[in-house]
Amino acid sequence: MTKGYNVLFVTSEVFPYSKTGGLADISNSLPQALNSLGNEVRIISPKYGQLDERRLQIHEIKRLKDLKMDVAGKSTKFSIKSSFIHGKNTKAQIYLLENQDYFKNKGIYQNIKTKEDFSNNDERFLFFSKCVLEILEILQWKPDVIHCNDWQTALIPALLRKVYHKNPHIKDIKTVFTVHNLAYQGDFPKSAFEKTGLPDSVWNEVGGYQKGRFNFLRTGLHYADKITTVSEKYAEEIRKDKSLSCGMGDVLEKRKRDISGILNGIDYNVWNPSVDKVITYRYTYQEIPLKYENKRELLSKFNLPYKENTPLIGMVSRLVESKGMDIMVKALPELLKEDIQMIILGTGEEEYQKFLMNMKKKYPNKLIVQIAFDENLAHHIEAGADMILMPSKYEPCGLTQMYSLKYGTVPIVRNTGGLSDTVIDYKKADGNGFLFNKFDAKEFLATVKNAVSIYRKNKQKWYTIIRNGMALDYSWKVSAAKYMNLYKKLTS
């Protein structure tokens, strides 16, 4: 076995402590996968609101209690607590940063009542990033690599190079910056830069391009030693397609030799119908009839009848434009004229939530809508639905379609980003789903109708599609090794 690396994995969400989307799942599963390859990966993340410390087995660390940090001219106290996330035969230590000024509320990025972004998100994540670097000396454990994720942690490489560069204990640590979604950038007025303590040279190097604003993501792209995105296709798209480079084209071009795409992996101890702890009827690809028992149960929970030849189409998604909600809105009234049943679980923008609730009123016998973030229901939908919709405008990776493949829930997806890298069109012998190209309601609708028709008329083909999907292995096996290789390149 190659020598393992010490890695501090810095992230703004980790399941089960916090979650708004796929990043939380990755922050749980990737460190464990890397640890099983002989690395020592420890995670660090904010501790939002009041977690049940006993249930989650969160402990104090005496020497990391009541520390002080200055941010934006204010001094604030923080403590680092410790816990472990566990898999079947794997685990990873997690440090949780507790602070009353910035992370007292339950919301991760937004006020959970008003659904508005916290007005001090710049300070919150600057504070977090500075604490991460500050505690390295007292941790009594030194990482070879700090692995940052998304804009919330993107200042760390610059802080390391420009503020902590004289500290002999940490100055030689390397950085990896993984971009899970280039559209979320942490873009703030210039006053945010002034809070960072970064020298003016940083502003001149990165700030000048930003029309007087300070962009966390851009700063990360500029200073990280290596950059990754979460699928190969998305890595290519953000460099070639202006509409997807989100204003970062110049810095992506400059860093092209240091950017790579590594497809996310799935934790098959959690998202797997044969071991899933949430669902009632566990099944393998040889036991598809049991899948239909889950479907029956799911429908009955919402008082809808189970009908032999009527597909149940699911969607589990943030209800935002990038997830394809615009074309959903256009396609749904037409789609609901078909003999189908649908279940949609999501939270997000008010207009989409309202639209879905209205549609539910119109079609109470066909459509289930749950405006909620409900981890258990997400598992029940993966197990009980026949198909899942992901008409994304763009998709850096997407975990939902990979979960669906394992559950024999046929994905109907737009041909973009990680969806292109994981879903194979049903027309091919090894096809496992349905793809459409244009971001267009008509094409989307036609693709869903075609899937419904095959479901109904060609069961043999349908089972082949299901089996092809369930047979695939999108575990971390391959991708974790790729990250390890990247750490190796950086440190040798």
Q: Encoding tokens for residue 439?
A: 């971001």
Phi, psi of 83 (to 5 degrees): -155, 175
Residue 359's beta-bridge partner residues? none
CA distances from 244 to 141, 284, 322 (A): 39, 38, 11
Binding mask 402-441 for ligand GLC (x = CB under 6 A): ----------------x-----------------------
CB 437 within 8 A of CB 472: no
Is 317 a residue that touches ligand ADP (CB under 6 A)?
Answer: yes
Is 435 a residue that touches ligand ADP (CB under 6 A)?
Answer: no
Q: Give the nearer residue to ligand ADP in terms of CB position, either 97 or 413.
A: 413
Is 375 a residue that touches ligand ADP (CB under 6 A)?
Answer: yes
Is 396 a residue that touches ligand GLC (CB under 6 A)?
Answer: yes
**Segment interacting with ligand GLC (CB under 6 A) among 11-19, 187-195, 267-275, 394-402:** 394-402
Task: Identify residues 4-33 at the interface with ligand ADP (CB under 6 A).
Answer: 21-22, 25
CA neighbours within 13 Å on the CB side: how many for 194? 5
CA angle 47, 49, 52 (to 5 degrees): 80
Phi, psi of 312 (to 5 degrees): -100, 115
Is 218 a residue that touches ligand GLC (CB under 6 A)?
Answer: no
Which residues lie below 8 Å from residue 253, measured CB to CB, with a gap of 6+? 239
Q: Is the peptide bond before 16 cis (omega within 30 degrees of 0)?
A: yes
Is 153 a residue that touches ligand GLC (CB under 6 A)?
Answer: no
Residue 345 binding target from ligand GLC, ligand ADP, none, CB below 5 to 8 Å by type: ligand ADP
Residue 327 binding target from ligand GLC, ligand ADP, none, CB below 5 to 8 Å by type: none
Is 265 a residue that touches ligand ADP (CB under 6 A)?
Answer: no
Select from 282, 296, 318, 467 the one that contacts ligand ADP (CB under 6 A): 318
Phi, psi of 131 (to 5 degrees): -60, -40
Task: Identify residues 389-428 at the interface with ligand ADP (CB under 6 A).
Answer: 397-400
| Torsion sign over Cα 221, 223, 224, 225 | positive
Q: For residues 317 and 308, give the distance between their C-alpha atoms in angstroms, rounded to a whole number.
A: 26
- Contact footprint for ligand ADP (CB under 6 A): 21-22, 25, 316-318, 345-347, 373-375, 378, 397-400
Residues at the interface with ligand GLC (CB under 6 A): 21-23, 26, 180-181, 230, 264, 395-399, 418
